[in-house]
Chain A
Amino acid sequence: MLLLACPWCGPRSEEEFSCGGEGHIVRPLASAEMDDAAWGDYVFMRTNTKGVHYERWCHANGCGRWFNIARSTTTNEILAVYQVGDNKPELPK
C-alpha cells in the first residue's frame, strides 16, 4: 500500500486518493488546426514508463485537491511530490 504525502494534508493512505494517470500532458491550444494524428496522440498515446513516472493524483476522499508526484513504477517508491503546473522536479541520482 502506498503512503502518499498530500501537499495540504500530509501523509495519507493510498485509499484516500485517486490516480489521474500520466502528468504533464498539456491540452493543445490550437485545437482547431489539429489533424487526426495529433488528436490521437494527445487523447490516447501514453509513455507508460518503466522507471520514473510523473503522474497526477487527487486527494479525492480528503481535501479534494490535485497534485503531481514522481514515482518509480518498478519499486513504487515516491521520489517527489510537487504542485500542478510545476516543471518535472530534479531527482537525486
Chain B
Amino acid sequence: MANYSILTLARNALQRHRGWPQAWRSPTLRPSYDAVIIGGGGHGLATAYYLAKLHGMRNIAVLEKGWIGGGNTGRNTTIVRSNYLNPESAAIYDHALNLWEGLSQELNFNVMFSQRGVINLAHDPGEERELRRRIYANQLAGVDAEWVGPTQLSELCPILNLDPNIRYPVMGGTLQRRAGVARHDAVAWGYARGADRHGVHIIQNCEVTGLDIREGRIEGVQTSQGAIRTPKVGVVAAGHSSVLAAMADIRLPLDSHPLQALVSEPVKPVMPTVIMSNKVHAYMSQSDKGELVIGAGIDPYNSYTQRGSLPVIEETIRAIVELFPITSRLKMMRQWAGIVDICPDASPIISATPVKGLYFNCGWGTGGFKATPGSGHVFAHTLAKDAAHPINAPFALERFYSGALVAEHGAAAVAH
C-alpha cells in the first residue's frame, strides 16, 4: 500500500493518477474474530486502529451498517477543543487534542487539523463569571485558556458584531488557541486506512441484528452478512447505542435527538477563527472551501430521523445574523442532521457492561468529534486489557448508580 508523500504524488502525477491503490480493502467477513467493533465512524475506526497498532490485536473487524464516516462523523461541524470544566473531562479532551496535533503524521493522511482557535462568547455578567471560572479551571488542569475583551475580539474576528445595543451584546469571551477545526471525512478515512494497514477488516453495509450472549458473556454477533463468533465486542454506535444495548437487555441513560447543521454558499475568507455562543445558541466557522459552517441545536424530542425541525435552525439563523450581520444575504446551501446520544450529565460513557466482553463507548452527545482520537485510544485500551484506562475510568456506567456524575452542561451546552 502506498505511503502518501511528495514523491508518490509526483510519480502518480506522471502516470495521470491511474496508479493509486485503494486506501483500504473490502474484505469478506470471517466467521470469527478476536474482537468486533460495531460502528464505523471516527470513534470506532480509531478504536480499531489503536487496538491493532498498540495492542497487537490484528484479527478484528469493524462493522458498519452504512458506509464508513456516513453517520455523525460526516455530519458534525468539525470543531476540536478541550476547554471543559471538570478535571476528568479536561483529561480526556486534552488527551484527544494532544493526539490531534500529531494525527496527520501518525496516519500519513492529511486530516487538515487547523489550530485557528475557538472563542466562546459571554453576553451577560453571569455568563462572564461562569466562563472566567472555566478559564481558571482549565488553567489548573493545564488546558490553555484566556479571556479576550471586545477590542481583542474585533481583531480576532472583524465580522463579529460588537455593537453594545444589540439584543445580546458581546461582553467578551474565552479563547483556546490550541483549538480549531479538522476535516471530518479525512479523520474517518485516515483511521480506516491506518487500521486496514494493520490488518483490520472494515466491513461496510453490514448491520448488526443481534448479540449472542450466553451465561452473561458475549459469544458472537448476528449481522446482515452472517454470524460472527467473537469474545469481545465494542459498541461505538452513537445515536443507535440504545438500540444495540436493547439487544443485550441493557438500558442506557441516553436519549437520541437530531442535531442540525447547515452551510452557506462559499465566500472568500471572512472568518479566521471559530466563534461559539451558548446564550444565543449559535456557532460558526469557515471551511477551507469557503462555506460558512453553522451549527444549530438539538430537536427537543427523541428522534432517529436524520432531518431535524425547522424552528431549531430558524432560531440559530436569527442569532447568526445578529452576531455576524454580513451573513444576512448569504444563501444557505445544505442543511442536515445527525442523531446524537445525549447523556444526562453531558459526558460520555466509556464502559464495561453487566455482559462480560461487551463494552460501550457512547453518550458523546453533541460534541464527540473533537474527542475522536482520545476516545479511540482509551477505548482500545479498555477492550484489550478488559480494564478501563485511567482517563476513561470516571466515565463508567456505574456513575449513574453511585452519583459521581461529570456534569459538563456549561462546557458542552452549544451543540456541535
Residues of A38-76 at the interface with B, using a CB-CB cut-off of 8 Å, are 39-41, 43-50, 53, 55, 71, 73-76
| A45 in complex: contacting residue of B251, B304, B309, B402, CB < 8 Å | B251
* Residues 366-416 (chain B) with a chain A CB within 8 angstroms: 400-403
Interface residues of B in 315-365 (CB under 8 A from A): 341, 344
CB<8 Å pairs between A and B, sample of 23: A13-B311, A14-B309, A14-B311, A15-B311, A21-B255, A22-B255, A36-B401, A36-B402, A40-B400, A44-B400, A45-B253, A46-B252, A46-B254, A46-B255, A47-B251, A48-B242, A48-B252, A48-B256, A49-B302, A50-B304, A55-B301, A71-B301, A76-B305
A75 engages B305 (CB within 8 Å): yes
- Given A48-B242, A50-B240, 18 other A-B contacts at CB below 8 A? A19-B301, A21-B255, A22-B255, A36-B401, A39-B401, A44-B253, A44-B344, A45-B251, A46-B242, A46-B252, A46-B253, A48-B256, A50-B242, A50-B256, A55-B301, A71-B301, A73-B303, A76-B305
Interface residues of B in 63-107 (CB under 8 A from A): none
How far apart are A67's CB and chain B's nearest CB, in angstroms? 14
Q: How far is the CB of B2 from chain A (nearest CB, A)?
A: 41
**A1, CB-defined interface residue at 8 Å:** yes
Query: Chain A residues with Cβ under 8 A from B304's Cβ?
Result: 50, 73-74
Interface pairs A-B: 8 shortest CB-CB: A48-B242, A40-B401, A44-B253, A45-B251, A19-B301, A44-B400, A36-B401, A40-B400
Tell me whether A48 and B311 are in contact in the complex, defined as CB-CB below 8 angstroms, given that A36-B402, A73-B304, A74-B304 are known contacts. no
Which residues of chain A have C-beta atoms less than 8 A from B303's C-beta? Answer: 73, 76
Distance A15 CA – B401 CA, assembled complex (angstroms): 35
Q: Which B residues are closer than 8 A to A by beta carbons?
A: 240, 242-243, 246, 251-256, 300-305, 309-311, 341, 344, 400-403
A73 touches B309 (CB 8 A): no
A83 an interface residue at 8 Å Cβ cutoff? no
- Cα A21 to Cα B240 with chains together (Å): 17
- CB-based nearest A residue for B311: A15
Q: Nearest residue in A to B307 (C-beta to C-beta)?
A: A76
Cβ of A37 under 8 Å from chain B: yes
Tally of contacts, chain A with chain B, CB under 8 A: 70
Nearest B residue (CB) for A38 = B401
Q: Measured between alpha carbons, how far is A16 from B95 in the docked complex, in Å?
A: 42
Cβ–Cβ < 8 Å partners of A41 in chain B: 251
Bound-complex Cα distance A63 to B398 (A): 40
A14 to B303, CA, bound (A): 14
Are B401 and A18 in touch, CB under 8 angstroms? no
CA distance A92 to B373 in the complex (A): 46
Does the CB pair A45–B252 fall under 8 Å? yes
* Complex-state Cα separation, A2 to B312, whole angstroms: 12
Q: Which of A39, A73, A76 contacts B256 (CB 8 A)?
A: A73
Measured CA separation A76–B299 after assembly (Å): 12
| Cα separation A71 to B145 with both chains bound (whole Å) | 44
Write the nearest CB–CB distance from B266 to chain A, whole angstroms: 29
Nearest-neighbor residue (CB-CB) of B398 within chain A: A40
Do residues A18 and B309 form an inter-chain contact, with CB atoms below 8 A? no
CA A44 to CA B253, docked complex, whole Å: 5
Please determine whether B300 and A48 come into contact, CB atoms closer than 8 angstroms.
no
Task: Specify which chain A residues have a CB less than 8 angstroms from the CB of B344 in the assembled complex.
Answer: 44
- With both chains docked as a complex, state the minimum distance between the C-beta of A60 and any C-beta of chain B, in angstroms: 11
- Contacts A45-B400, A46-B242, A48-B252 known; A73 to B305 CB distance under 8 Å? yes
- Give the distance in Å from the alpha carbon of A19 to the alpha carbon of B302 in the complex: 9
Q: How far is the CA of A20 from the CA of B361 in the complex (A)?
A: 26
Most chain A C-beta atoms within 10 Å of own C-beta, residue among B251, B253, B300, B302: B302
Please judge, given known A-B contacts A15-B311, A73-B305, A74-B304, whether A46 and B401 are in contact too, CB under 8 Å: no
Measured in the bound complex, the distance between the Cα atoms of B311 and A15 in whole Å is: 7
Q: Residue A50 contacts which of B243, B311, B400 (CB distance < 8 angstroms)?
A: B243
Q: Are B300's CB and A47's CB within 8 A? A: no
- On chain B, the residues within 8 Å of A75 by CB distance are 305
On chain A, the residues within 8 Å of B242 by CB distance are 46-50
**Distance (Å) between the CB of A34 and the closest chain B CB?**
11
Q: Provide the bound-state CA to CA distance between A15 and B312, in Å.
A: 9
